[in-house]
Amino acid sequence: MISDGKVLNNIIATQSVHEKYGGVVPELASRAHQQHVVPVVHEALTDSGISKGELSAVAFTRGPGLMGSLLVGGSFAKSFAFALDLPLIEVNHMEAHILAHFIEDPKPSFPFICLTVSGGHTQLVLVRDYLDMEVIGETLDDAVGEAFDKTAKLLGLPYPGGPHLDKLAATGNPGAFVFPITSMRGLNYSFSGIKTAVLYFLRDRVQGDPGFIEKRLPDICASIQYTLIKMLLLKLMKASTTYGIDQIAIAGGVSANQGLRKALAGLSEKLGWQVFIPRLEYCTDNAAMIAMAGHFKYQKGIFCDLDVSPSAKMKIGDHGKNK
């Protein structure tokens, strides 16, 4: 819930159902969405002290994301808005991650470059205004979040593996092992290679020493994390130089990674960057960032029709149409 640009609450229902499968199961995700959407909305209204009759608009995630979950959320939002005769606002999931920087101070000034990093996306975005964004670089295959989780799974870490790898990396030696850094043309990324490199590295080491992973786990995690972060920051530095911008932000679930945060703090001192990172609860997928994106669209009168369809591959810059 949001009022006049101020977040009133950020109610989230977690989905622990995926843990035993070692990854998100789309069908289970959509079923969990269906199960939780009504209680979550009810709790948000009750907690804020705002009645349904006092609402001005309804914002929902149109995409990108898992189609089943988008269908559940979109169908509920359209029904809710129709029943209350309220404007409907479609939100781009990745733009919302970037706009999470405007939930609370300190806030970046325009223009700034945002590195959006999650399980499904890795993008460099030039942000000229609240609703004026351009993707200037992105992964051509896997997202960095997937690389974190998949390599963590190879090491036998619980799901989601990224946070566990990050925690172990803090006690390891990042220079213990060397993994290849893939360099793509321009500002684009590629993370598929490191997953394969780690797979063969572990296979070869375990053949000679079955207890290798257990003995060197922190060092392996630190070396993997060092490589992934270096790949991210090399392109980020290039983008900063190319566009002459020292206002730097990160967003998305992987922006909660402590190794990435520490590395950015170091670059901030070295290069004179002003670095902006949302509070942890606003880094992962959350309701507040969708509400904030909805707030800026409401101010511009950018609404959508009730027949709008979810888009699993919705692009940054697609803002629907005026109602």
Would the pTM of this model clear 0.85, i.e. be above it? Answer: yes
Question: In CATH terms, are 2-97+283-300 and 106-278 the same topology?
Answer: yes
The answer to whether 49 is a known ligand-binding residue is no
Name the least confident of 66-75, 125-134, 219-228, 241-250: 66-75
Is residue 68 a known part of a binding site?
no
Which has the closest alpha carbon to 2: 109, 141, 102?
A: 102
Q: For residue range 257-267, list pLDDT tens digits in order.
A: 999 999 999 99
**Was 257 annotated as part of a binding site?**
yes
Q: Has residue 143 got a pLDDT over 70?
A: yes
Residue 285 labelled as part of a binding site:
yes
Q: Has residue 323 got a pLDDT over 60?
A: no
The class that CATH gives domain 106-278 is: alpha beta
In CATH terms, the superfamily for domain 2-97+283-300 is ATPase, nucleotide binding domain (3.30.420.40)
Distances (CA, A) of 244 to 213, 237, 239, 271, 273: 43, 10, 8, 12, 11
Q: Is 85 annotated as a binding residue?
A: no
Average pLDDT over residues 110-139: 96
Burial 52-65 (b: 16+ CB within 10 A, else e): eeebebbbbbbbbb
Residue 166 assigned to a binding site: yes
Tell me the average pLDDT across 193-219. 96
pLDDT band at residue 319, thresholds of 50, 70 and 90? low
Please check if 10 is assigned to a binding site: no
Residue boundaries of the structural domains of the chain: 2-97+283-300, 106-278
Query: In which band, very low, low, confident or very high, does the pLDDT at 313 lie, cut at 50, 70 and 90?
Result: confident
pLDDT in tens, 156-169: 999 889 999 999 99
* DSSP sequence for 272-319: --EEE---GGGTSS-HHHHHHHHHHHHHHT--B-TT----TTPPTT--
Residue 43: predicted pLDDT: 95
- Taken as a whole, the chain contains a residue count of 323
Least reliable range by pLDDT among 3-17, 107-121, 188-202, 216-230: 3-17
Written as one letter, the residue type at 318 is D
Say if residue 116 carries a ligand binding annotation: yes
The whole-number pLDDT of residue 33 equals: 85
Backbone angles phi, psi at 116, to 5 degrees: -100, 120
Does residue 308 have a known ligand-binding role? no
Q: How confident is the model at residue 32 (pLDDT cuts 50, 70, 90)?
A: confident
pLDDT tens track for 45-56: 999 999 999 999
Distance in Å from the first CA to the final CA of the chain: 22
Average pLDDT for the chain: 93
Identify the CA nearest to 30 among candidates 17, 43, 44, 11: 17
Residue 22: what pLDDT? 61
To the question of whether residue 72 is assigned a binding role by annotation, the answer is no
Burial degree of 185 (CB within 10 A; 0-12, 13-18, 19+): exposed
Residue 15's pLDDT band (cuts 50, 70, 90): low
Residue 13 has a pLDDT of 78
